[in-house]
A and B are shown apart, each in its own frame.
Chain A
């Protein structure tokens, strides 16, 4: 099979995957590849976008008003965001989560020397536009973020800057410019250390050395909520 045959086969598999036509075994095998292959994910997203138009013009039907109230109650703070967690996690493919965790444990197992504390929180930052795949794992005891970039880099002559959105805050605080190295440790300033676990991380494209204004000036490339491991 030539390389171009392989690409076309992947494209067809991606289409069949989106249509949910693969048998359970082939589907599981495809999902295992998806969790590690950005190109394949791109193919899947392309098919999702193409085929979504089949559903976009269906007639609209107003749902019963009671549903809205029930839903808002379920996302209310005391309704327990945490309780709802396993449900979406399962729905979205527990396989992804497990693979991701394994990858992270392997990566940080190498990164953290003996006697160092393991991270308890994690965010996966993926910027498909720029081919960046990065995990940020947080060790609350040391107020340290362990950054591990498995793919991608800053745009030529530009820097990547890491941001923290504290929970409920519409504005981000800079956690600094990411070094070019694939592995990095970032010390979170004391004021913000307690806010990482419940916050959201983001990376943006900035001039060399970082944003001159204190807020993101370039494209926001990836956003990910921090999750408990």
Chain B
């Protein structure tokens, strides 16, 4: 079973240019990271490109991991999510979102190879539940769909400044709840 400590060791070894550790990290985490790329980009070909870019960045930037204070999975997920949102922003014509069924019907990873400790995700969901539904939705869409203030405002039919005020208040409430 791959523990977060194992993944941390792999990242440390990757910083020292250990290709074996890089292959091991890919085997232990790529299904999780590919899931993130597919979710954010909603397009298989682009998600495959993004996945390669994520791991190339890990190869070159593994030495920056130690300074961020992230858990290893949260760091990888952050690298992947940021890169995918950057891609979304560069995208000229929006690609039709993947049907959810297509994602789920995909071959599931070998459970032995992909065991990663669950983080405190239930916690952030609980805290988002404390917000009004449209406000929680806005935070999720900004993070997972890379939506801008303008897009969120249009979706919820409120002025842009109102959306910004909503979202900033939501962030403060979320932080307060998570550090409670």
Chain A residues near B (Cβ < 8 Å): 8, 11-12, 15-16, 19-21, 42, 45-64, 67-68, 70-72, 74-76, 81, 84-85, 87-88, 91-92, 126-129, 165, 167-170, 200, 220, 222-225
Residue of A nearest to B170 (CB): A15
User: Interface SS of chain B: helix, strand, loop or mixed?
Assistant: helix
Known: A92-B57, A225-B63. A62 touches B17 (CB 8 A): no
Known: A53-B74, A53-B121, A55-B39. A72 touches B56 (CB 8 A): no
Question: Bound state CA distance, A62 and B35, in angstroms?
Answer: 8
Chain B residues near A (Cβ < 8 Å): 12-13, 15-19, 22-23, 26-27, 30-32, 34-36, 38-40, 48, 51-53, 55-57, 59-61, 63-64, 66-71, 73-75, 77-78, 80-83, 85-86, 89, 103-104, 106-110, 114, 118-121, 123-124, 139-140, 142-144, 146, 148-149, 164, 167-168, 171-172, 174-175, 178
Contact (Cβ within 8 A) A54 B140: yes
Question: Bound state CA distance, A170 and B89, in angstroms?
Answer: 39
Contact (Cβ within 8 A) B31 A21: no
* Shortest beta-carbon distance from A77 to chain B in Å: 9
Contact (Cβ within 8 A) B39 A58: yes
Residue among B18, B71, B164 making CB contact with A170, cutoff 8 Å: B18
Known: A53-B120, A58-B39. A63 touches B68 (CB 8 A): no
Provide the residues of chain B in CB contact with A12, threshold 8 Å.
Answer: 168, 171-172
Provide the residues of chain A in CB contact with B51, threshold 8 Å.
Answer: 63, 67
Contact (Cβ within 8 A) B16 A55: no
Contact (Cβ within 8 A) A223 B143: no
